[in-house]
Chains A and B, each alone.
Chain A
Amino acid sequence: MASEDSDRLSTAVKIVVAGGFGVGKTTMVGSVSEVPPLRTEELITEASTTVDDLAGIETKQTTTVALDFGRITISGDLILYLFGTPGQHRFWFMWDELAHGALGAVVLADTRRLDTCFPAVDFFERRGLPFIVAVNCFENAHRYGADELRGALDLDPHIPVLLCDARDRSSTKQVLTTLMHHVMAETRMAPTH
């Protein structure tokens, strides 16, 4: 039967980059990915979320949701994938699959439209997935301090908030290292089963 054979294969882990439409998620992924961001699409039908058999699919409304992702080979046997969430909230079920087993998440925020990142903050809080908030500093946008933003987003004091430039590799590196420190702290504190 089908076997899960591991010796020839590395381990893969993932980090999710979430936020509103157009906030720079794919840009951030691309700034550190070793390959240009890849895109895959999933066909969505009303039926596909509840029913296995898609016979008669042509009569149902069909749309596609795009998923952008990048890759960083950490070592010979460890690969990190970075996934941008679909911007539209009606694709929540994709968020579930993305968050499933993720190390943690970056919520990318835009101070001009801060409310667009609220759903992502809510989602990760509810799922208990460690996350940080990175504020993409767009030109012409008013610069807020991290504490001001923490207040505006009503975040717990332990959740890191930092400013970034999603286009800049070293800035994105700083975002990801901040996330990993946070994830490691949260994991150490979590009760072991």
Chain B
Amino acid sequence: MIARGKMHRGSALWIAAMVHRLSGLALAIFLPLHFLALALAIKGEAKLESFLRWTDQPLVKFAEGALVFLLTIHLLGGLRVLAIENLDWRDGQKQLATIAAAISAIIAFIFLARVF
């Protein structure tokens, strides 16, 4: 039996809020690494090129696809939050959250299809 206070957990909008938070956290963890990689250019074009060739590995490409998914879903989730807070309420929030997840997945798949 689910406790009354936890009944909302598992609902589409609770999952959407959790996905928004976790995607933001993942992006925050990734950002310093992203900046460190780009800063390799300080040591010359060859250093950056060498790193980029390392990223040609399939596993890294999949990780990049996951990052594209996280960035897109955080963007769309954030847009939904801004709309809820600043515009008139509209029904269909669960559908909007589901569409956001679907669009993010499609964009990540298109990215993967292009890089492989």
Bound pair: A and B?
no
Binding site for A on B (CB under 8 A): none
Binding site for B on A (CB under 8 A): none
